[in-house]
Structure 1
């Protein structure tokens, strides 16, 4: 079975993805373009693949949700192009790739960081089908002027409650990236998320 190619220009494409991630986390709810050409094996989306290729490495273990973990081609693609170990336990991951957000494990199952090292937490990357600066959720906190609307789907049914529990542990907790076709939004642990 042939291995799918990674980023066409690993240095420049990787930098572009990294900048999009930094902008998304610095300005929660503001959608960033994420148009990096990559054609990973399904069911890994191009956006999940681009984020993994730009962020994961040999020192950043990756957890895959069951939909992705069942694909040997996806596991081989990620191991080859990133060098990152693919781990079975969510709490062992630096990055978690979630193709089926509705069935995402509880956020508390992932590394939350430690009081002396809050940066030793996980970043969850959820593949969503729709993402817009309107509707469903209301965001408040650092990087947001006043309040910002955001809608994304699909998400876990208790998403706002999960985010409230996650924020309650600040500075510990996970950070989230929502990746839709060609688009990206960030929800750092400091963001207050409520339903509109």
Structure 2
């Protein structure tokens, strides 16, 4: 791909109105985080280069900047997505997921939660946020959520989670208040699983 073609891709597909677009996505993320397990639409139109999805691209535009190192999974690490992130967000790309503020990956390339930055006891908010693209937010294995923002319990059924997600999440919960916040993305919809939320296969003990 020529430099001119790469430049054309990098400058296209961002928010039509950056301030309002970023604010809208940020509000949606706050809503999703305050109500874990609730599917929230991102009412914005963006067109990141493939294979980065629309929802993940919108989150990158809203949250990533020059002060937030970003880790991309192998399939996202090509020239087009990297150039788009660099131009649209100004965010530095990190080869080390343990030093990234945000990590983006499809489920098939999900990094181990233990490999990401867990924050510290003094600054647990300095952990990595994992933006994980999956097949769909409905139609999969039923999972029960409990914790802050949930009245009793809430059942979700995301489709296409990594096979070891529940076990990895259970191990990660042992580090609380440190740990990883996860945002599941399918198309232009999101579902947040903050570290304070306990997750279990339905009819099993929450973990």
Could you tell me the TM-score, scaled by structure 2's length?
Answer: 0.90
Please state how far the C-alpha of 1:129 moved relative to its aligned partner: 1.9
Q: Is residue 140–residue 158 contact of structure 2 (8 Å, CA) maintained in 1?
A: no
Q: Report if the CA contact (8 A) 2:42-2:189 is conserved.
A: yes
Q: Which 5+ residue runs of structure 2 have no aligned equivalent?
A: 203-207
1:34 aligns with 2:42: yes
CA distances 1:156-181 after superposition (whole Å, capped 9, x unpaired): 10111111112111100010001111
Which residue number in structure 2 is paired with residue 93 of structure 1?
100
Question: More strand by proportion, 1 or 2?
Answer: 1
SS at match of 1:142: coil
Aligned residues of 1:29 and 1:133 also touching (Cα < 8 A)? no
* Equivalent position of 1:112 in the other structure: 118
2:119·2:127 contact (CA, 8 Å) conserved in 1? yes
In structure 1, the residue matched to 2:164 is: 158
> Which runs of 5 or more residues in structure 1 are unaligned?
none
Counterpart residue number, 2:130:
124
Q: Does 1:73 align with 2:80?
A: yes
Greater Cα shift, 150-159 or 185-194: 150-159
Correspondence 1:6-45 to 2 at 5 A: 6-45=14-53
Partner of 2:13: 5
Supply the distance in 2 between the matched residues of 1:133 and 1:60 (Cα, whole angstroms).
34
What does residue 205 of structure 2 align with? Answer: none
1:185 pairs, out of 170, 188, 191, with: 191
Please report how far the alpha carbon of residue 133 of structure 1 lies from its aligned counterpart in structure 2 after TM superposition. Answer: 8.9
Q: Tell me, in whole angstroms, the C-alpha distance in 2 between the residues paired with 1:176 and 1:183.
A: 14
In structure 2, relative to structure 1, the CA distance for the partners of 1:133 and 1:10 (3 Å cut) is farther
Report the structure number with the largest CA radius of gyration. 2
Q: C-alpha deviations, 1:50-89, integer Å up to 9, x for none? A: 00000000111100001101x2010000000101001000
Q: Which residue in the other structure is 2:176 paired with?
A: 170
Q: Structure 2: how far apart are the matches of 1:57 and 1:30?
A: 27
Distance 2:65 2:81 in 1: 16
